[in-house]
Amino acid sequence: MGEITMHARDMHRLLADATLPDGASYQQAFATLAVSHRGRPAAEIVPLLRTAADAALLGFTSADLAEQAEAISTGARYELRIRVTGA
Q: What is the pLDDT of residues 46-75, one digit of tens each?
A: 999 999 999 888 989 999 999 999 999 999
**pTM, 2 dp:** 0.86
How is the chain split into domains, by residue range?
2-85
Strand partners, 81: 3
What's the Cα-to-Cα distance from 45 to each of 21, 26, 48, rounded to whole Å? 27, 14, 5
Partners of 6 in the β-ladder: 84
CA distance 78 to 48: 17
H helical segments located in 1-87: 11-14, 26-36, 42-55, 62-74
